[in-house]
């Protein structure tokens, strides 16, 4: 018994004392570092960029992400630097809503305020709250070599380190995943997405809403981020290659939409518009080996149709930190994390893929039926589905 207690304590202490290596200082990597720091771990992040300068775009953080940030004690700071969202609407081209999700319900029932925030602000707040984490910029991970007790990591700048606890938060094109699971595959939705941030104040009715207008093979969404700052995205299906469309002609692609859409596009300086092809990671069955574990987009990159990619990465962050704290060995912690997170993250990948397809139907009869069906789908069911996905439970009075 005495021997058992001592060896458990030794294993536990080893797990706590080891430095944890994170690859990637995106939303997933930074949130994980914060969660680990708060549990007493020493963390080192290696990031390829020379400065932490996120793309000029906004992001929506739903109740599940805000629940994590509440746990980490930064929810109030985020809310003060963001715009509170009261509802998420799907509309026709003229902004007549045919589906609404009442986000105030989540605020009133669970005290979780959904927000829209500039990505730069979110990363700035995460960085401000990191106290002991070391961040090494300009460190692009080039290769990993497996040893008996961990991996040797080789960076493009010539630096080499050894680590036995590696968390790969290196995004959808993850180098670590390509080494661990070389058969993993990315899937293109054949949709091109433009994102922009503009100095613009939306009319009062739209200020606390995300409105996503669906057309025929395209959609346009907009949301206020802060006073006189808004974020929008536009998506269009292509047949072979994204170059079938160009940013210069963006306003003509959306000329049949409500006039505010034109106003938003023309107010946005072209250097503030970023183009991306929408893709995801075909779900993979395992996210780890004994020394390295994938988190965020590296593990389960999803299409952005549910606005859940970063929210899922944020959920991963707290779960992996809890598992590393609670488990005696790293591998046990990775297994427990995967067990807790995989089903939900993959559900999001799957549902989001389907929503992306349905939202781009082109045939007028199909779109008419789709819009009609969404209109009669009870709001309450949308809400119940989200409560399940976010694993929110009402506390008995």
Ligand X SMILES: Cc1cc2nc3c(=O)[nH]c(=O)nc-3n(C[C@H](O)[C@H](O)[C@H](O)COP(=O)(O)OP(=O)(O)OC[C@H]3O[C@@H](n4cnc5c(N)ncnc54)[C@H](O)[C@@H]3O)c2cc1C
Residues that bind ligand X (CB under 6 A): 23-29, 46-49, 59-60, 139-141, 169-171, 175, 193, 195, 233, 276, 296-297, 304, 307-311, 313
CB half-sphere exposure, 378, CA atoms < 13 A: 4
Contact 356, 191 (CB under 8 A): yes
Residue 119 beta carbon to ligand X: minimum distance, rounded to whole angstroms: 8
Q: Detail the DSSP E strand segments found in the chain.
A: 20-23, 43-46, 58-61, 83-84, 87-91, 97-102, 115-118, 134-136, 141-147, 150-155, 160-163, 166-168, 186-198, 209-214, 218-226, 229-237, 273-281, 292-294
Contacts of 96 (CB under 8 A, 6+ apart): none
**Cβ nearer to ligand X, comparing 91 with 308:** 308
**Cβ nearer to ligand X, comparing 46 with 291:** 46
Contact 20, 42 (CB under 8 A): yes
Residue 178 beta carbon to ligand X: minimum distance, rounded to whole angstroms: 10
> What percentage of the chain's residues is helix, strand, coil (to nearest 5)?
45, 25, 30
**Cβ nearer to ligand X, comparing 24 with 150:** 24
DSSP secondary-structure letter at 19? P
Q: First-to-last CA distance in the chain?
A: 43
**Cβ nearer to ligand X, comparing 15 with 118:** 118
**Cβ nearer to ligand X, comparing 352 with 367:** 352
Q: What are phi and psi of 210, to 5 degrees?
A: -100, 125
**Cβ nearer to ligand X, comparing 164 with 280:** 280
Residue 277 beta carbon to ligand X: minimum distance, rounded to whole angstroms: 9
Residue 220 beta carbon to ligand X: minimum distance, rounded to whole angstroms: 13
Q: Measure the CA angle with vertex 133, ends 127 and 134; round to 5°.
A: 100
* Bridge partners, residue 147, by sequence: 150
Residue 40 beta carbon to ligand X: minimum distance, rounded to whole angstroms: 23
**Cβ nearer to ligand X, comparing 105 with 194:** 194
Token readout for 121 is: 């602000």
Residue 363 beta carbon to ligand X: minimum distance, rounded to whole angstroms: 25
Residue 30 beta carbon to ligand X: minimum distance, rounded to whole angstroms: 8
Residue 250 beta carbon to ligand X: minimum distance, rounded to whole angstroms: 15
Residue 53 beta carbon to ligand X: minimum distance, rounded to whole angstroms: 10
| CA–CA separation, 347 and 99 (whole Å) | 21
The DSSP secondary structure of 209-221, one letter per residue, reads: EEEEEE-SSEEEE
**Cβ nearer to ligand X, comparing 23 with 68:** 23
**Cβ nearer to ligand X, comparing 37 with 170:** 170
Token readout for 110 is: 């669970």
């Amino acid at each position: 018994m005495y021997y058992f207690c001592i060896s458990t304590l030794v294993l536990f202490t080893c797990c706590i004392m080891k430095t944890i290596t994170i690859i990637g200082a995106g939303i997933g990597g930074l949130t994980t570092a914060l969660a680990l720091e708060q549990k007493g771990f020493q963390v080192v992040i290696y990031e390829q960029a020379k400065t932490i300068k996120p793309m000029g775009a906004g992001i929506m953080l739903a109740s599940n992400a805000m629940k994590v940030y509440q746990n980490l004690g930064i929810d109030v700071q985020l809310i003060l630097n963001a715009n509170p969202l009261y509802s998420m609407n799907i509309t026709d081209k003229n902004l007549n809503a045919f589906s609404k999700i009442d986000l105030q319900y989540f605020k009133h029932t669970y005290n979780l305020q959904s927000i829209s925030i500039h990505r730069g602000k979110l990363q700035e707040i995460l960085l401000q709250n990191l106290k002991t984490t070391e961040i090494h910029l300009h460190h692009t991970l080039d290769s990993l070599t497996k040893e008996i007790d961990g991996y040797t990591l080789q960076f493009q700048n010539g630096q080499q380190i050894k680590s036995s606890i590696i968390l790969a938060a290196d995004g959808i094109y993850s180098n670590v995943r390509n080494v661990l699971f070389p058969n993993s595959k990315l899937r293109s939705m054949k949709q091109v997405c433009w994102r922009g941030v503009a100095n613009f104040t939306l009319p009062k009715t739209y200020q606390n809403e995300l409105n996503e207008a669906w057309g025929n093979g395209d959609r346009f969404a907009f949301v206020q981020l802060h006073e006189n700052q808004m974020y929008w995205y536009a998506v269009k299906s292509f047949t072979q290659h994204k170059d079938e469309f160009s940013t210069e002609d963006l306003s003509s692609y959306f000329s049949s939409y409500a006039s505010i859409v034109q106003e938003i596009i023309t107010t946005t300086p072209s250097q503030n518009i970023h183009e991306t092809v929408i893709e995801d990671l075909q779900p993979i069955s395992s996210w780890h080996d004994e020394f390295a574990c994938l988190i965020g987009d590296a593990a389960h990159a999803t299409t952005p149709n549910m606005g859940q990619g970063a929210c899922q990465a944020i959920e991963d962050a707290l779960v992996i930190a809890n598992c590393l704290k609670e488990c005696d060995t790293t591998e046990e912690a990775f297994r427990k994390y995967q067990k807790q997170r995989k089903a939900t993250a993959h559900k999001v990948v799957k549902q989001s893929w389907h929503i992306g397809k349905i939202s781009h139907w082109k045939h007028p009869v199909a779109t008419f039926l789709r819009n009609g069906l969404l209109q009669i789908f009870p709001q309450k069911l949308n809400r119940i589905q989200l409560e399940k996905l976010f694993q929110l439970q009402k506390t008995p009075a």
